[in-house]
Structure 1
Amino acid sequence: AVPIAGAVAQAGVLDLRQAAADQLGAGATQAFLGGEPNAVPQAYEEASPIEHLPLGIPVLCVHGTADDIVPIGQSRSFVERAVAAGDEAELAEVQGDHFVVIDPASAAWRTTLDWLARRFA
């Protein structure tokens, strides 16, 4: 097995309990996990990245400031809790919508490449 040395979340849904509360994706979280958090708490605990902190690896969260699909608060909360748990975590708030983070011509993409190069080149 190859050990995981780091992670990049691009406009990630990192707190599934909050995603359910916010009705992200018109209930997609509940459909995926089989119900509301109070009905299937173990599913949320196992699947939600924020529940697994500290991760013990560096993490970059890249999120568009105008994202109207996944609120930027998902990344802000994750990074705040990751740092509090002792992880190396960084948030790159970039201008743009939900999809700017996967556009190879965007500054967001350059931010991701630079972060990866600093850690793994």
Structure 2
Amino acid sequence: MPMTTTEYLPGRAAGQYGDPAGRTVLMWHGAQTDARAAMRPLARHLALLGRHVVVPDWDSHAPDRGRADLLGSLRYCRDRGWERIVLVGWSLGGVAAAGVTVSQGVPADSAGIRVLRTVCLAGAFGATDPVSGARLPTDLTGVEHRPPVALLHGVHDDVVPVAQSRAFAATLRRNGWPVTLAELEADHASIAGAVYDPGTDRYGPAEDAASLAVAASVAQHIVRGD
């Protein structure tokens, strides 16, 4: 599946897959610097299912923990008319996606985006949300826009325990929020179509058949709610 690369902020690149006329899926990688390539297999599977996928680089190690990058990618989508999106986040990116979703769906300085559905892959919900700079709230009674949330977590994840997704699902249910939780035969990397390289301490795109099969399954879960 061909990919094009554009700057969504000065010096910040985003990969795009699929036809821009399709429903836009904005995907945020986890706690690394500029790791969009790690989610390439998942993005390609989604594009094959008819989705337009935007995967921006962002820097979780920046002084603002990546807040400007993440919000910049939302504005990038809004400014190009892709204002109704499915928001997908992996690991720390999953916390950011959840934070955007439970904050009325859109932070104030990204007005014009409407999140239709949120999917968190191995969400590190015990961490601070890089967008708000705070832990995710547990009282969501005042939130009006409540897009469905799907939580996908690998049962073999030894980086972020599946218990974190179970606990967040319970919080959403207590607040009457539409949520599903699927526990998959995956680890922390393969749930996002990635593989971990201990030599470089980085995640990259998977090439092995087992991880690619997980990515194909995750893509089906993402589009199922559309």
Fold shared by both chains (TM-score > 0.5): yes
Is residue 4 of structure 1 aligned with residue 92 of structure 2? no
* Equivalence for 1:112: 218
Q: Secondary structure at the match of 2:115?
A: coil
Change in CA separation of 1:67 and 1:88 when aligned onto 2, cut-off 3 Å: same
Could you tell me which amino acid in structure 1 is paired with residue 190 of structure 2?
Answer: V
Is residue 91 of structure 1 aligned with residue 202 of structure 2? no
Of Structure 1 and Structure 2, the greater strand share is in: 2
Percent identity over the alignment is 27
Over alpha carbons, which structure has the higher Rg? 2
Change in CA separation of 1:48 and 1:96 when aligned onto 2, cut-off 3 Å: same
Of Structure 1 and Structure 2, the greater helix share is in: 1
1:15-54 alignment runs, 5 A limit: 15-16=126-127, 47-51=134-138, 53=140
Number of equivalent positions: 94
Structure 2 gaps of 5+ residues are: 1-111, 194-210
Q: Name the CA distance, whole Å, in 2 between partners of 1:75 and 1:50.
A: 15
Match of 1:74 among 123, 141, 164: 164
Please give the per-residue CA displacement for 1:61-88, whole angstroms capped at 9, x wherever unaligned.
Answer: 1111111111111100001111121111
Which structure 1 residue ranges, 4+ long, deviate > 6 Å from structure 2?
none
Q: What TM-score, normalized to structure 1? A: 0.63
Higher relative contact order (CA 8 A, sep 6+): 1
Structure 1 gaps of 5+ residues are: 17-28, 34-44
